[in-house]
Structure 1
């Protein structure tokens, strides 16, 4: 009987509780959004000063307009009798400002005079749309002609033959996620998720995989990613083996260059270990590093342009994945339309919020070791 009586008392106490009422339907300060908000007071002036507009949104006016045209229909919401909908332009501007600065929802709340929950929703919704709309055009699945163009550019710019792209994985800092234990706690003693990427010689992302636990190793993340599985099982559409430049035979497979954190394989070329180094191995490592630096530069530009990477992202991992994917596709979009170069980016590209993982100790197959030795001989005839 006692549990039943206790339950009845709890129900009675709940029913007697004074219902909570909202003090405001819309806070008086937020009602001034269309008159005093940053979108109303600043946006039009920024468009008359392209350099200021670029600093504010991290893209040119023409790129912003093009992006808005692609997203406008999906971002438009219906006006009601109670309130007017937030315009697509304002939604996109707030999202780009969030990505470009890393400001909290609270900071944007005071800048744009909009509710925190509203900003949170529209930022995530817009990031999803950015990836969905831009990915087919600005990060398509490569075909053989695209791979062959990359090989030609890698040889012309970085003196590395049969190279399709550079691979690397980086940590994206997170505020400690709830109820995850040590899954996101990495060897650098902070919480993160892994951004795995393949980059072309123009510093654009060919492929990204986001969301692996920070405690995971680069080699493991790559092998279990969709790209790594297709590469390992032969499902990737790659150019056939071919001789290196200025040689006739034999043909060698096309490869992706990577650092010591990756395992050597038929299509992944990594440097020699630092022990027992010879002149030939030093030359090979230098040539490979020169080609592999494109992925480091791409990560540096990404972090310096979208400065949400300069601090720990205050989101649950599933939402941080959405934001990171949006910045990666925006990176390709801006580099395609604005033709940015490394020298035009601000900041030190080597000092980024993205941290490299430690070396792997896996030994590659005999055929891959043989191909690496032959390539080292090719560099030092």
Structure 2
């Protein structure tokens, strides 16, 4: 599936992953070696390119792991391992690009741009969260259990008026 999209010059890849192919390649170069697994005698590993595509599609669309399993022909159980692993590597690789404002003046600049562009006075950022579904670690009891009766962690992100992430946790 992903191979077909990469060959298309029509912008379908950008629509599917919400990222340009050039940026996709840049991310792949940064995290590819960390997320690539080794082949075994029993099976071939899922390529880093496909691992990244699954994760980006999940983050862009909010599709369930079951839905992604139909798209990528990967079991939902494996996807539930891939997504948190790739997200963790993305956080590590891109942490240098997350610039949290360090002074009151920087926060005021962000608030000024929000007011000028979006007519939101005194706004220092737009915040949102996403439940990243995972398999509960052993002996975690209800630590990762959420209100939808699944196990997940909550990814929270704050971005400025230009959609640049200023903080993620």
TM-score (norm 1): 0.33
Runs of 4+ in 1 over 6 A off after TM superposition: none
Deviations 1:195-240 (A, max 9, x none): 473x43423232245xxxxxxxxxxxxxxxxxxxxxxxxxxxxxxx
Gaps of 5+ in 1: 1-37, 186-192, 210-381
Q: Is the 8 A contact 1:169 1:194 kept in 2?
A: no
SS of alignment partner, residue 166 of structure 1: coil
Q: Is the 8 A contact 2:132 2:155 kept in 1?
A: no
State the superposition RMSD in angstroms: 3.8
SS of alignment partner, residue 19 of structure 2: coil
Alpha-carbon separation, structure 1, partners of 2:106 and 2:6: 40
Alpha-carbon separation, structure 1, partners of 2:24 and 2:122: 31
Map residues 112-261 of structure 1 onto 2, 5 A cutoff.
112-137=72-97, 139-144=98-103, 147=106, 151=109, 154=112, 158=116, 166-167=124-125, 195=156, 197=158, 199-209=159-169
Gaps of 5+ in 2: 134-140, 149-153
Q: Is the 8 A contact 1:140 1:206 kept in 2?
A: yes
Larger Rg: 1
TM-score (norm 2): 0.68
Number of residue pairs the alignment of both structures matches: 151
Alpha-carbon separation, structure 2, partners of 1:95 and 1:166: 28
Q: Is the 8 A contact 1:151 1:164 kept in 2?
A: no
Alpha-carbon separation, structure 2, partners of 1:116 and 1:155: 42
Q: How far 1:184 sits from its partner (Å)?
A: 5.9
Map of 1:333 onto structure 2: none
Greater RCO (Cα-Cα under 8 Å, separation 6 or more): 1
> Which of residues 51, 76, 96 is equivalent to 1:91?
51
Q: How far 1:80 sits from its partner (Å)?
A: 1.9
